[in-house]
């Protein structure tokens, strides 16, 4: 429920051929359904629902032509930037599951309007999912923050790549601690390229992957 497979619209797959190769690999790894989530950032990736859904239709058509049977949907990964509030107010959000919406924060510091945006999501009837909270280093010395987020109704989505040490040893430690504390609501690959899936396959039998695979509380099972 977190990947970047619509070709040529963000920093993920850059061609239809790359997308097909990645999706073939997802299927070989046992995935039955993909919800891909291109970036929407007001300064960098000015994607719209029309751009994303148009790309999804082209991708689906190619999968059908190649007789690759896998369920694929699209939503978006919204950056909490200056443009997000207007998108919420205009009800232009791409959602999935039960009105779930995926959003991310800047990596340098927590935005001042973080709580305000979450409240706006919720009052408009959306269920916010925070992408890869284990990657926001400004919370590393305040682990209680993750519990606070959950208490405010924010679902927490862990990147499986974080458990492999792909981002940093510190991120891996926080990710493991979140799993141990039962704070993870959803998992995602955050796959941008085929190499990401090779890393995940290499770690498929690791302790924390198995813990998550046997976690019947993950929301992934119901979206």
Q: 10 Å Cβ neighbour count for 144?
A: 8
Distances (CA, A) of 51 to 38, 44, 54, 147, 149: 10, 14, 5, 36, 31
Helix axes 16-28, 194-202, angle to 10 degrees: 20
Distance CA(152)–CA(118), nearest Å, equals: 9
What was the pLDDT predicted at 43?
87
Instruction: Report domain extents, the chain.
Output: 77-222
Tell the residue number behind the tokens 């051929």, with chain if given.
17
Largest CA distance in the chain: 50
- What residue spans of the chain are helical by DSSP H? 16-28, 49-65, 84-89, 114-123, 144-151, 169-180, 194-202, 207-213
Nearest to 40 by CA among 90, 1, 79, 92: 79
Distance CA(136)–CA(106), nearest Å, equals: 8
Distance CA(193)–CA(159), nearest Å, equals: 14
What was the pLDDT predicted at 61?
98
CATH dotted code for 77-222:
3.20.20.140
Which residues in the chain show pLDDT less than 50?
none
pTM above 0.85, yes or no: yes
- Give me the DSSP letters along 46-94: ---HHHHHHHHHHHHHHHHHTT---EEEE--EEE-STTHHHHHHTT---
What was the pLDDT predicted at 124?
95
Distance CA(12)–CA(3), nearest Å, equals: 8
């Amino acid at each position: 429920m977190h990947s970047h497979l619509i070709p040529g619209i963000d920093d993920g797959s850059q061609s239809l051929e790359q997308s097909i190769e990645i999706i073939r690999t997802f299927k070989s790894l046992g995935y039955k359904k993909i919800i891909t989530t291109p970036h929407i950032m007001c300064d960098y990736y000015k994607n719209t629902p029309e751009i994303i859904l148009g790309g999804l239709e082209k991708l689906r058509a190619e999968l059908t032509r190649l007789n690759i049977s896998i369920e694929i949907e699209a939503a978006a990964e919204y950056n909490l930037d200056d443009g997000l509030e207007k998108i919420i107010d205009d009800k232009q959000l791409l959602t999935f599951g039960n009105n779930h919406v995926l959003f991310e924060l800047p990596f340098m510091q927590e935005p001042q309007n973080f709580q305000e945006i979450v409240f706006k999501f919720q009052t408009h009837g959306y269920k916010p999912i925070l992408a890869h909270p284990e990657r926001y280093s400004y919370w590393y010395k305040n682990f209680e923050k993750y519990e606070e987020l959950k208490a405010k109704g924010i679902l927490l989505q862990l990147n499986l790549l974080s458990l492999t040490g792909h981002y940093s040893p510190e991120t891996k430690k926080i990710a493991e601690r979140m799993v141990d504390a039962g704070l993870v609501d959803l998992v995602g690959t955050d796959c941008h390229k085929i190499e990401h899936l090779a890393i995940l396959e290499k770690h498929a039998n690791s302790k924390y992957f198995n813990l998550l695979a046997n976690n019947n509380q993950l929301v992934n099972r119901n979206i």
